């Protein structure tokens, strides 16, 4: 997933909050005054992302959801780790 796809996903998923994140917002804290996500919003975003990619992902760092940039780094690392695990599992079969 790239930054523009992630921003579009967040904007669609949270359209009820009347926010429209752009690439200029990607380094801003999601829980800050401008974006104002709650802990419930972040939890919802986590579950929506897991559903979107079709697998449960682990959060290893509490700051993974600090900003869109951090989410993108986390998501790509987790998807890479998931792919490697799937490859190993398929070799075992």
Q: Which domain holds residue 37?
A: 3-92
Q: Residue 92's pLDDT is what?
A: 43
- Which pLDDT tens digit goes with each residue over 2-59? 999 999 999 999 999 998 999 999 999 999 888 999 999 999 999 999 999 888 888 8
The answer to whether residues 22 and 7 touch, using CB atoms and an 8 Å cutoff, is yes
- Which pLDDT tens digit goes with each residue over 61-83? 778 889 999 999 999 888 888 76
CATH number of the domain bearing residue 30: 1.10.1200
Phi, psi of 5 (to 5 degrees): -65, -40
The answer to whether residues 74 and 30 touch, using CB atoms and an 8 Å cutoff, is no
Rounded to the nearest angstrom, the gap between the alpha carbon of residue 17 and the centroid of all alpha carbons in its chain is 17
Q: What are 76's two structure tokens?
A: 């790509």
Domain count for the chain: 1
């Amino acid at each position: 997933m790239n930054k523009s796809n992630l921003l579009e996903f967040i904007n669609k998923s949270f359209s009820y909050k009347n926010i429209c994140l752009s690439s200029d917002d990607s380094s801003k804290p999601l829980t800050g005054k401008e974006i104002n996500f709650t802990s419930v919003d972040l939890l919802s975003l986590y579950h929506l992302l897991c559903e979107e990619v079709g697998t449960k992902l682990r959060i290893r760092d509490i700051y993974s959801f600090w900003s869109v940039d951090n989410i993108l780094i986390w998501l790509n690392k987790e998807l890479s780790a998931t792919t490697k695990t799937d490859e190993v599992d398929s070799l075992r079969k």
